[in-house]
A = this chain, B = another copy of it.
Amino acid sequence: MSSTPLFTPFTGESTGDPLLFETYKPKIKAYRDALAAGILDEYKLPEEFVPRLSGADVRQIPKKVLTSAEYEITESSGTALAKKLATGELKAVEVFKAFAKRATIAHQLTNCAMQLFTAEGLQRAQDLDEYFTRTGKTVGPLHGLPVSLKEHYNYKGKVTHAGYAVWTDRVTDNWALSVKLLLDAGAVFYIRTTEPQSLMHLCSKNNITGCAKNPANTSLTTGGSSSGEGALAGMKGSVFGLGSDIGGSIRCPAGFCGAWGFRPTQKRLSMRNVASACTGMQEGVCCVLGPLAHCADDVDLFMSSIIGGEPWKNDATVIPLPWRKVSEPSIKDLTIAVCYDDGVVKPTTPIVRGLRVAADKLKNAGATVVEWNPIEVKKLVATCGSMYNADSGADQLSVLKASGEPLAELTKVALSFGCGTKGVSAADYEKLALTRDIYRDKYQDVMNEKGINFILSPVYVSVAAKPETVHYWGYTSLWNILDLPNMVFPTGLECDPALDIPDKKYTPRSDVEAYEYALYDDAENFKGAPIGLQLTGRRWFDEELVKASKVVQEVIEK
């Protein structure tokens, strides 16, 4: 089998079938009308707060609109709120109303929601308060916490379209198991968030409710595919949210919007009843669910609560690995390898600055900091891409054709990953899986030999990009195929045109690099975009990664 390319250009039809698509427009309109109706009058953003120009930072607007009590609640961690809800110091209804308001404001500024159902959330919060009053107990560890959900998990009784126009009126009558476990733990639902067509963009373009905007700079992408989750997290419109990630879809939006995002090792959370175009089980590189949040402690709370629901009991794919309690490491005990360049696409100047600042601070705090030498990244990213498209993209194309919707630019890009629409035979698929396994062992062997605990690397080549431009996923998808857990966190730094001047002298090593590196054309275009970084740990040892990321981020942001 000859070497897999990173991209095999998509040459299929992309305009769709306009006549057929016309017949779906009433359904799409009805869906959008329902979304608009989800903006309650009492949460309507006064006109004076709506930015007139693009490129705005809208993250400070909630403070101007919320009461100080609402603001204080929505600035609190989930861990702190859970404690106060458990003692009765806070009521679920007051917590909910604060977040519902902040989320609705966020939606009006960033278009982060695909569904808003505040009245249902309020009823749920009232039920929780009534339960607490009656029994003196909480229903579970997430009692009363407002939790956001990316749209594509089956939600009993609601439409789940997974970003495809053909399903804009498809009601799913069961729960995604992970959503049910959050519900059973006491979570309050009120918003389902924006994702792109095909679920395979690091961006948000779709033919249903349209793109979401990055709250740090509204001319930029939120990233994707948990696009709305990223925007909402940047706006603190929920305690945390449930995202999904097969190539970067939790981590990219988290990094682009200044939030935390955690990609667990596969098969720890249930994927049962998560909607997609897939008519088969592609398990070469597995999709996982995971949280976008505001701090490491809340990631811990999220994971321990959902895994505490023992998902393996109702999903034979999930491995019964309980969420272990581990202690925070001392920074002096950590050996962190820093990746400045994956050998395929060099990171841009703001990212390099972020890495250098991080490395210096970690060293000064007593960590052992070494340089990470990339290992066969191009081969692994290409292998990953071929696994995505192993079926020749047939499933994707089928669902897109069913409504005749036009293909977004990045959908075409996704269909060009690896083997593209050529697909592969099962024999070649098995060879791809063997390559993956060889390098899973290689990476572990190298980390063992060099005593490396964690790898610090970029989330993406650059800060948040312009909409519909990101092609190269390698800084995230490498870890998907290797299945090492990752935490993305904010450094507190953001793109500064004075410091982060594009390196126009750099000579790209390939066409792929030439395209991607040049997207960071003028620092002014990216002003204010958060600089996030990614910490990667050992396969299955997610708990240690979460605790280490807390310590690492504290050192970096100080």
Contacts and interface: CB of A to CB of B under 8 A. Distances in A.
Interface stretch (A124-132, A195-203, A420-428): A420-428
A395 B434 CA distance: 13
A321 interface: yes
B433 A280 contact: yes
A272 interface: yes
Given A272-B441, A426-B424, A426-B425, A433 B283 contact: yes
A254 B434 CA distance: 31
A83 to B, nearest CB: 31
A282 interface: yes
A173 B362 CA distance: 41
A308 to B, nearest CB: 17
Interface residues of A, number: 44
Contacts of A272: 441
A429 B429 contact: yes
B312 A540 contact: yes
A283 B267 CA distance: 15
A547 interface: no
A391 B280 contact: no
Interface in A426-456: 426-434, 436-437, 440-441, 443-445, 448
A445 B432 CA distance: 33
Interface centre among A272, A315, A429 (most CB of B within 10 A): A429
A139 to B, nearest CB: 22
B313 A441 contact: no
B426 A390 contact: yes
B315 A441 contact: yes
A443 B316 contact: yes
Interface in A515-540: 539-540
A433 B390 CA distance: 14
Given A279-B434, A280-B430, A280-B431, A539 B316 contact: yes
Given A280-B433, A283-B283, A427 B390 contact: yes
A392 interface: yes
Contacts of A436: 281
A281 B392 CA distance: 20
A540 B320 CA distance: 7
Contacts of A423: 425-427
Nearest to A423: B426
A443 to B, nearest CB: 7
A281 B285 CA distance: 13
A281 B315 CA distance: 24
A437 B316 contact: yes
A116 to B, nearest CB: 32
B390 A430 contact: yes
A402 interface: no
The interface centre, meaning the residue of A279, A430, A431, A434 with most chain B CB atoms within 10 A of its CB, is A430
Interface of A: 272, 278-283, 312-317, 319-321, 390-392, 394-395, 423-434, 436-437, 440-441, 443-445, 448, 539-541
10 A-B pairs with least C-beta separation:
A280-B430, A391-B427, A390-B426, A281-B433, A316-B440, A281-B434, A280-B431, A426-B429, A316-B444, A424-B426
28 contacts: A278-B430, A279-B431, A280-B429, A280-B433, A280-B434, A281-B430, A281-B434, A282-B433, A283-B430, A312-B539, A313-B448, A314-B448, A315-B441, A316-B444, A317-B437, A317-B440, A319-B321, A320-B321, A320-B540, A320-B541, A395-B427, A423-B426, A423-B427, A424-B425, A424-B426, A425-B425, A425-B426, A429-B429
Given A280-B431, A316-B437, A317-B440, 13 more contacts: A278-B430, A280-B432, A280-B433, A281-B430, A314-B445, A317-B441, A319-B321, A319-B540, A390-B426, A391-B430, A392-B427, A423-B426, A426-B428
